[in-house]
Amino acid sequence: MTRRRWIADEVSNNCAVLTGEHADHLIRVLRAQVGQEFDIAAEGVVRSGRIVNMVPLRVEFELGEEVPATAAAEITLLLAIFKFDRMEWAIEKCTELGAFRIVPVIARRTDTHLAIAADKRTERWKRIALQAAEQSRRAAPPEIADPIKLREAALLPGALRIVLAESEKRTQLRDVLHSHSEGEILLAIGPEGGWGDEELHLLHDSGWASASLGPTILRAETAAIAATAIAISELGEPHLPHPRK
């Protein structure tokens, strides 16, 4: 039977700890017992873990041998901020698929109230990513960056930087990825209504390539999930990112 995986909140030598709501779920909902074993992701490495102590809001594990894991390309999603319920769904599903990093971006068509409120949503997005990472048996959740404006996002480095654009008619995302071998991939997903012409010019002038997901018009969250799935399919198994700070 596959053991449930948890991402440690604290790590020290051969001891790992779950705290707060994390521990409370294990104690009250799953009714864990001292001596029970789980897989524990600690500092980016997955190891077997045996519960040695439980108190309210705290579960301590003794760590054992390392559990084999695979790693592949790093995929960073630049998500132009859209309606929060849909964006949360996209973050959850892209985490399950294997996104390495997610950067919320303030685009021209991002609603003003969403742009203003985005900074306060970052911690919630991180919690969603953590839960999705554990559910999908990752070694660590993706990094969720603080929201930035597109002009700043355009300058982010990467081995291959691709903007998904409805105006691109000839080049498919799969074609651009096909010849890529290593290094971080950046995929920019536009807001509801798509990228503005001046935004596409900015990205192209900064060295980004354009690609399409096909002839149909997708919602922003659907485009994010589809792009991540295509990239994972082309580049291999999901990467196991660095642990959260």
pLDDT in tens, 182-207: 778 999 999 988 999 999 999 999 99
Structural domain count of the chain? 2
pLDDT at residue 244, as a whole number: 41
Is 0.85 surpassed by the pTM of this model? no
Is 28 contained in some domain? yes
44, 66, 88 — which closes off a domain?
Answer: 66
Is 26 contained in some domain? yes
- Domain coverage including residue 44: 5-66
Residues 6+ apart with CB under 8 A from 59: 17, 18, 23, 26, 27, 32, 51, 53
Cα–Cα distances in angstroms (integers) from residue 188 to residues 11, 46, 77, 205, in the given order: 34, 30, 6, 15
pLDDT at residue 118, as a whole number: 95
pLDDT at residue 230, as a whole number: 94
pLDDT at residue 55, as a whole number: 94
Give the span between the Cα atoms of 142 and 122, in whole angstroms: 13
Same domain, 132 and 113: yes
Same domain, 144 and 101: yes
Give the span between the Cα atoms of 227 and 98, in whole angstroms: 11
66, 101, 117 — which closes off a domain?
Answer: 66
Is 244 contained in some domain? no
Q: Assess contact for 105 and 81: CB atoms under 8 A.
A: yes
Same domain, 191 and 218: yes
Tens place of pLDDT per residue across the chain (245 aa):
567 889 999 999 899 999 998 899 899 998 999 999 999 988 878 999 999 999 999 999 999 999 876 665 689 999 999 999 999 999 999 999 999 999 999 999 999 999 999 999 999 999 999 999 998 888 889 999 999 999 999 999 999 999 999 888 889 999 999 877 677 899 999 998 899 999 999 999 999 999 999 988 899 999 999 999 999 988 864 444 444 43
Is 12 contained in some domain? yes
Same domain, 59 and 108: no
DSSP designation for 238: P
pLDDT at residue 243, as a whole number: 40
